Each structure stands twice: as C-alpha cells, then as structure tokens.
Structure 1
Amino acid sequence: MKVLVTGATGFIGGEYVKHLCAAHPEVQVFFGGRDAERGNQLAVATGAHFYRGDLTDGTYASGVCKQIDAVVHCAGLTGVWGDYERYYRANVLTVEKLLSAATATGVRRFVNIGTPGIYFDLNDHLNVTEDFLPPRFADNYVRTKYQAETRVLRAHSEQLKTLSLRPRFVIGPGDVSLFPRLIRLHRNGQLKQLGEGRNIVSMTCLPNLMQALDCAVFGSDDVTGDVYNIADPEPVNFWQTINQLMQVMSLPAIKRKVPYPAAYAVSACLEAWHRLIRSRDEPTLMRIKTAVLAHSFTLNVEKAQRQLGYQPLDNMTQTIEDFVRWYKNSPHPDKR
C-alpha cells in the first residue's frame, strides 16, 4: 500500500508520517510540504519519500498522486486573522486540485483533516455532534475549512472513498501552537486565567489522533462518506490542564485572573484598530481566541467510536510529560 501525506512539514502531517513509518512498515510512505529543510530532515529520519511543492499547482498535485492508494490531506492555512482569499487559496483551492488529481490518477481513499472550529460561535457548547452548525462561521479559517470539507464529501464515489476527521486541540510532542504559545506567554508574565476557570473542553492527545487516522486510512469502505469528531474520551478542565502543564514544566501555577467581559472588550478594540489601519499583523488579543480560552466546548465522539472504530484512551498525563520532554530537548524558538 502507498500512502501520501500532505502538509507533512507541519505538526499533524509530520507526526503521522513518523507513525506510519514506525507502526506500518509494510506501507510505502510519501509526503509533501513546502518547507525543504524540515521535509528533508523528516525524510532522512523516517525513510519516507519527500516531494516539495505547492498543492495549488495542478501539475505538482497530479505528480504526487500517481500510483498512490490513499491520500491523507493535512495541508492548509490555520489562524484567525487575514483576508478570505488567502484562506480560500490555501484551504479550498488546494483540496480542489488534490481531489481532481486523486480522481484522475486512481487514488482509492482520501482522508481530510477538518476542524471542529466550524461549530464555535463564541459561546459555550457541550457534547456537540457532527450535524451542528452555528448561524455564522467565526472566521475565514473555519469558513474555508468547511468549504473544503464539502468538496471532499462531494467527491466521494465508488472509485474514490472520502471522509473527514475533526480533531479538537491536538496536543503532544511536535506541537508548536497551543502549548508553546501558552508557555511563552506565561514566561513573559502575560498569561492570565480568563473568567472563573471552570470551562471544560475537549482535547485530543496525539496517540488518539494517530489511532483515528489509522481507522480512516485502513478501515473498511463502510467508514467513508462521512465526517467524524475526534477527541479524547473525556473532556478536561482547561485551566487545570494548563496548570498541570506548567507544573511539569517547573513553572509556577497561573494565579492571576481577568474577567472575561473585560478581556473580550479589549480584544474587540484591538481588532477594530487593526482593521482601521489595515494592518496585516494579527492583534495580540482577538475575540475568538479570548472566547476559546474562556468557554466550555466539548465534542460528542460516539459516531467515531461506533462507525469508525475509534477507541481513544485517557493519555493526558502521559502526553503532557511526553510533550515537555520533547519541548525541553528541541531547538524550539520559543524555548528559553
């Protein structure tokens, strides 16, 4: 079997390449990305084949899909600031080019990494199922990721079986987003608890996501043609979990608090100012990021357990320890 992983110079794609090479030696692994240095390092470390290029280039997309059995699409642009066209090109156009190439070259399965951010409307939501959609999307990132998902499901056929996974707050070794940013803010004295700290959230430990991806790639055809929430078996208290991280990092607990309404108001003002001056730089505080840190948001993963065969384990403590070990021994730019 030959598997192509796109966006593998990023966190999830890169970790899945490592997982495939270690856990499925019978699989030939190919991967794409635009970061030549990281791609070459991953190729040397795993023995997988690296193809550098841009998925908006149809010729490149066709080339990397040749003789491939399954595509795991992890590439895309994340973030909450920026114009629609930029996100559309990175998240929708790439999917369209890749699906067209996969169909033309005879790829049999297409696994897409989506986002449960499409559900979030800056309010509390508990036990969210896959059929929920808010009245409007919170930002251009989730809007274009949902558009990409619709393309993936529309492409599902007898020849090309497709499905999408929506993992929430993926954490583990290799994460350069959530945990590193919070550690950096805490070390700089800028991290404060928003609200009363009672918000519970779904998170996804990296081993559970790797298991879900295996279910999607190697499962029967019955698992395809659908979308699945992916998260750990039980939600956690967000701020208690962050303090657990800080304790393992040998950093003090987060004790300072800011009322959520005050933080939200400051965020709104900063956003308005950046739009007024047409700044391309992201504001230091934004309403959606503030809301994410202060609200409860949990996913229902029963469909993934029932149909996909997903059986997540409670790996939070071990995953935090693994992350800290990796973080302290990596040349991460935020580490000091």
Structure 2
Amino acid sequence: MVVLVTGATGFLGSHVAMALKSEGVVATGRNKRALARLATYGLRAVPIDLRAPIAQADRDRIGPVTAIVHCAGLSSPWGSPAAFHQANVAATHHLLDMASDMGVCRFVYISTASVYFRFADQDGLQEDQLPPRFVNAYAQTKRQAELAVLARAEVGPVVIRPRGIYGAGDNALLPRLMRVARRGPLPRFAEDGATDITHVDDVVAAILAALRSDVTGEVLNISGGVGLPLPQIIAAACTATNVPLRWRHLPFGPTLAATRMVEAAARILPGRPEPPVTAYALGLLRYRQTIDISKAARLLGWTPQISFEEGLDRSFADGKMREGVL
C-alpha cells in the first residue's frame, strides 16, 4: 500500500506520515522547508497546493498511490469564509478528482468534531446528531467537504471526526490555551464546560485502522473517551509548563453578547483581525460537548489507549511545548 498523506507538514499529518513510513508514503504540503525535514527521515515529499486543481505534472511527481489520508485544511476559530471554502471544500474536490482518476481504493478524510457544536450541553453525541446551524465557517466547510467525500463511493471513503487533538508537535490546542493564560485571567462561568480531547497517537491508530479495514461510506467519532472539565485541562497544561493560571468569574450571557459585538466589528475591519476571544471559545468554556465513540469501536475495533495524564506526559516530555516552539 502506498499512501498519500496531505497536510503532512502539519501536526496530525506529520504523525500519520511517520507512522506509515515503513509501508510507503508520499507526504505533501505547501511548506517546502517542513517537507524537506520529512525527507530527512526517508519520506518521499512533494510540495503541492491543493487549493488549485492538481496539474498532471504534480500527479506525475506524486506517482501511483493506493490510498489517501487527507489531513490538509484550514483549521481555525476565525477567518474569512472564502479562505475556509478554498482550503477545506475546493481542495477536497481537487483531491477527490485526482483520487478517482488514479483508481485510489481508500480515502480517509480527517474532519472535526466541531461540526457538532451548539451553545448547549451535549453529551454522547452520535455521528448523525448534527446541529441545524454550524457555529462557524470552519465547521460548515468541514461538513461540506465530508459530504463531497462520502459522495465518491469509488474511492472507498471514510470520514474521521477527532475531538481536540493534542500531543508532541501540537501548535494549536494546548499552546493556544497557554498563550491566552499568559496574557491574563481566563473567563470562567458559573457552570464549567467539558470535552473529551484525544492524544495524537490514538488518532493515528484510528486512521491506520480505517486504512486497513473494509469499512466504507461511514463517519466515525474519535476521542479520548472521557469528558473532562475545561478548567481541569487548562490547569493541568499550565502546571506542566509553569504558566500562572488566573480566572475571572463572569456572567455568561452578557459576556457572550459582548463577544459577539466584538466579532461583528472585526468582520468589517480590514483584514478581519481575530478577536482576543471568540463566541465559540466561550461556548467551549461554558457547555459540555462530548461524543460517542462506540461506532469506531464496533466497526474498526479501535478504542483509545492513552489517558489524559499519560498524554500530557508524552506531550511535554521533550520540553518543546513547554517553550511554545512546536
């Protein structure tokens, strides 16, 4: 099996590419310097910008592949709808066209559990329990890409929805929380939100199981399997990195209303600068959001193996996340 891994210069994609090294992998991404680093590990690295249709010359450089793990995309709580559409929807269509032309027999798409988010407590969400409206352009375009993938039965599609990936190399989830904590007190409300985050090694194991299975046309939730209060997650990360943690107790309703006003103003400013905090981030701090992973266990034989405590130890073992330089 030769596997094309998109977004291999990113956090999850790099872990997937390294896990497949012995089986044959083509690593793609737009960051040529990061691709060069992957090449030093013996991976075949090809710079590709998926936002445009994939030219024949690029297809020739990729060469024959039997499977694709599509990790690439724009993942952010803020940004222009056009940028999200281009990176998440258009890019996926371009890759699907190439996969179909090449006769790819397995296409694993990495989506997100953010598609479930609502401003309400939600526990044990199953794969079909989507909200009537998506919380932001990121969630909306990831769902649009999911539908595009699932419609292409000829490539053997499987959609993976991981929740809150963290681990060595993470430059988003825990580092973002720590950067905010360094700036000042974090908001805390009368009721704490909770979520089930997932160590990157567990996500990679689920992806490998999907690649090797005969499951097709399915959407599968992936998480650590335990709903943890957000203050507990934040406090543990700050303790591990010696970042002082302070809380500011606030009423949720007025804080959310004020944040939405700031967001509205940011949308009309040149460059649409990201606000210090988004409504989505506040919602995560206030509401319970957990998912049901029994379908992945049933169809893939996969279950999470890494507890949050062990995952933190692995994440900070080499000190890089501690310095915020991942």
- Kindly provide the amino acid, as one letter, of the partner of residue 138 in structure 2: Y
Q: Does 1:199 align with 2:196?
A: no
Q: Distance in 2 between matches of 1:279 and 1:249?
A: 33
Percent of pairs with identical residues: 32
The 5 Å alignment of 1:104-123 reads 104-123=101-120
Distance 1:283-1:179 versus aligned 2 partners, 3 A rule: same
Q: Distance in 2 between matches of 1:51 and 1:196?
A: 50
Aligned residues: 324
The 5 Å alignment of 1:31-70 reads 31-44=27-40, 46-55=41-50, 56-59=52-55, 62-63=59-60, 66-70=63-67
Report if the CA contact (8 A) 2:315-2:321 is conserved. no
Report if the CA contact (8 A) 1:173-1:327 is conserved. no
The 5 Å alignment of 1:94-173 reads 94-157=91-154, 160-173=155-168
Structure-2-length-normalised TM-score = 0.93
Q: Distance in 1 between matches of 2:277 and 2:79?
A: 14
The 5 Å alignment of 1:165-244 reads 165-189=160-184, 191-196=185-190, 198-219=192-213, 221=214, 223-244=215-236
Report if the CA contact (8 A) 2:46-2:61 is conserved. yes
Q: Distance in 2 between matches of 1:61 and 1:289?
A: 38
- Kindly provide the amino acid, as one letter, of the partner of residue 81 in structure 1: W
Distance 1:128-1:89 versus aligned 2 partners, 3 A rule: same
Cα shift readout 1:23-55 (whole Å, capped 9, x = no counterpart): xx2x011110000111111221x2111101211
What are structure 2's unaligned runs of at least 5 residues?
Answer: none
Q: Distance in 1 between matches of 2:73 and 2:305?
A: 28
Report if the CA contact (8 A) 1:166-1:228 is conserved. yes
Report if the CA contact (8 A) 1:73-1:113 is conserved. yes
73-82 or 123-132: bigger deviation: 73-82
Counterpart in the other structure of 2:24 = 28
CA-based RMSD of the aligned residues comes to 2.0
Cα shift readout 1:212-270 (whole Å, capped 9, x = no counterpart): 01111112x1x221000100122212211221122222334444433322431221121
Report if the CA contact (8 A) 1:197-1:239 is conserved. no
Distance 1:2-1:132 versus aligned 2 partners, 3 A rule: same
Counterpart in the other structure of 2:264 = 272
Q: Distance in 2 between matches of 1:233 and 1:198?
A: 18
What are structure 1's unaligned runs of at least 5 residues?
Answer: none
Q: Distance in 2 between matches of 1:71 and 1:141?
A: 22
Q: Distance in 2 between matches of 1:252 and 1:283?
A: 22
Q: Distance in 2 between matches of 1:261 and 1:326?
A: 41
Q: Distance in 1 between matches of 2:76 and 2:58?
A: 24
Q: Does 1:14 align with 2:11?
A: no
From 309, 316, 320, the counterpart of 1:317:
309
Q: Distance in 1 between matches of 2:82 and 2:45?
A: 28
